[in-house]
Amino acid sequence: MADEILIKPDLKFVQRIMAAGGQDAKKCYQCDTCCVVCNLTPENHPFPRKEMLQAQWGIRDVITSPDIWLCHQCSDCTVHCPRGAKPGEVLGVLRQMCIENYAIPPQLARMVGDIRFLPLLVAFPVLLLLAALKITGRLAIPEGPIVFSKMFPWWMVDIIYMAAAGFAVFVLAQGVIRYWRDINTSPWAVKLQGGVLANLIPVLQDILLHNRFKKCETTYARSLNHLLVVFGFITLGLVTAWAFVREWVFHWPGPYPFFSPFKMLALLGTALLIYGIYQIIVARQANADKAGFGTYFDWQLIYIVAAVGITGAASWLFRLTGIASLAYPVYFLHLTSVFILFFFAPYTKLAHLVYRTVAMLYARMSGRGF
């Protein structure tokens, strides 16, 4: 038989999935209830049953499957699974493996995804920022009115964060290119319809409106909460971009007056971010019994985002209230958390931003589910 596939089970891979939060994957007995209850899965070759089987057998191909990204982890499958195999959680782990697989170096991704390396993860930016302060002789709480640029001048922030973002974009870009190549070869290769750009626009539209995410039943509220966080980030991104332009083009330094439209926009963005992430935490805990608690990988991103929002808002509040001894250290923590968010983006769950977008683009172009 020409099209015969040699099945090579990989015990290590199975053990890795089980250790990373897919400990119930082996309980699946392939009844297919998950595919039936899933509102997101395409009609042909639906997920997550086949992915569960591949996870059980340790078939590594599964991590390059575009289908694992079409899942938004509604956990409807987990709720209805008669065997308690938690397909939602298992697919989450497979996505983690995918991110890990396309990151360079993969070892770094593996460390980021492992709770034992959490102190290192935090220590890196802390030491980096402390070193920067030390070198420029700013390792003290500045006197006078609180202006954060006294501690971290704009040029310093921009250099460090441009570099971090640039690194992240590079790692993600090479990952996405390799991923796109992989899904366009066997076994996923199909004839793609239409141009990339023409398809990307409707995909982005779909993402911005969370049209697919909204189809979740058990964790319906998550799509709204996630949307709040997304728009919080978009708003804050716009503000940051404007600040960048102001700084480098117009040379108008901050801080902005309280009632400036950009300050208002920044506050709105922060509020959306904090409220959204708070709701995500509450809802995840409330649903944990039926939908699964989520893995360390999930919670890591949630807490990074929460830290970014809370430290940002808190440093602003302390600045307004003039408590320098708190304002500067909190601002330091804010920069630390933002650094983690930026720098480790290709290794944390934040990478889903690009891999899911690419997978959805592929799905649209290959006629799966759009």
By the criterion CB under 8 A, which residues form the site for other proteins? 1, 3-9, 11, 14-15, 18, 24, 26-27, 29-30, 50, 53-54, 56-59, 83
Of 26 and 150, which CB lies nearer to other proteins in the complex structure? Answer: 26
Q: Hey, how many other C-beta atoms are within 10 angstroms of the C-beta on 171?
A: 22
Structure tokens at 157: 């922030």
Q: Which is nearer to other proteins, 16 or 210 (CB)?
A: 16
Q: Annotate 17-47 with DSSP letters as a single string.
A: HHHTT-TTGGG-----HHHHH-SSS-SSS-T
In the bound complex, what is the minimum distance in angstroms from residue 75's beta carbon to other proteins?
20
Beta carbons within 10 angstroms of residue 369's beta carbon: 17
Residue 67's nearest CA partner among 368, 370, 354, 352 is: 368
Which pair of tokens denotes residue 300? Answer: 């890591």
Identify which of residues 29 and 170 has a Cβ nearer to other proteins in the complex: 29
- 3-class SS of residue 194: coil
Query: What is the rounded CA–CA span in Å between residue 223 and residue 208?
Result: 11
Quote the least distance from Cβ 230 to other proteins, whole Å. 37
Distance CA 190, CA 22 (A): 30
Min separation Cβ 53 and other proteins, Å: 5
Q: In terms of CB distance, is 59 or 171 closer to other proteins?
A: 59
249 token code pair: 């083009």
Cβ-based nearer residue to other proteins, 6 or 197: 6
- Least gap, CB of 150 to other proteins (angstroms): 56
Cβ(75)–Cβ(218) below 8 Å: yes
Q: Side chain identity at 85, as an amino acid letter? A: A
Least CB distance from residue 51 to other proteins, whole Å? 12
Q: How far is the CB of 266 from other proteins (least distance, A)?
A: 49
Handedness of CA 172, 178, 183, 184 (dihedral sign): positive
Residue nearer to other proteins on the CB measure, 4 or 289: 4
